[in-house]
Amino acid sequence: MGRLDGQKIAVLATDGFEEVELTNPVDALRQEGAQVEVVSTKGGKIQGYRHHDKGGEVEVDATLDAVDAGDYDGLVLPGGVINPDALRLAPKAINFVKNFVDGQRPIAAICHGPWTLIDAGGVRGKRMTSWPSLKTDLANAGANWVDEQVVVDGNLVTSRRPDDLQAFDTQMVELFAQKVTARPDPATVK
């Protein structure tokens, strides 16, 4: 039995995601029993990158047109420069992320992934990290940016780069597991 049994986690991504920043967290979540779905602006496959070079493709499980953010217990935002920049221009993607922000549900964002959180109103007052080039963007949006391997602030866990994935995955699973134990048991609620 995994720590995340019964959880359904969305990984929001599109073409241009950093390959290991999607595949590693997905593997870590599935190893803990979570049902993970890659959600995107389009169906089919999305193109990953290994920094500047094309990497592997990943099959999309559901499109934003076909999902309800309320059906997911947590959200993962992988980086890559192209991916979050494209998502910022997609109103449905911003609304999807905003649903998690407004509902104070757990979000894990790595590298350039926090860019999307800016547009969804999810960084003001948060202590967080990211790829260094986002420092000014995040600070201008009201975040307290720090250069640390992984940062947890409330329902948000952030990390800087692929080298930080082990720490990121560990804290992501920990955060998502806490939210499971914090949920009331429907059998005991009257």
Q: What amino acid positions are annotated as catalytic residues?
A: 111-112
Round to whole Å and give the CA distance between 182 and 103.
14
With contact defined as beta carbons under 8 Å apart, do 160 and 110 qualify? Answer: yes
Pairing of strands 156-159, 53-59: unpaired
- Which helix (H) or strand (E) covers residue 41, if one does? none
Return all residues near 45 (Cβ < 8 A) that are at least 6 apart: 57, 58, 59, 60
Return all residues near 156 (Cβ < 8 A) that are at least 6 apart: 106, 107, 108, 109, 117, 122, 126, 128
- Grouping H, G, I as helix, E, B as strand and the rest as coil, residue 129 is coil
Two structure tokens written together for 184: 């009331």
Round to whole Å and give the CA distance between 156 and 146.
14
What are the residue ranges of helices labelled H in 18-134? 19-31, 82-88, 91-102, 114-119
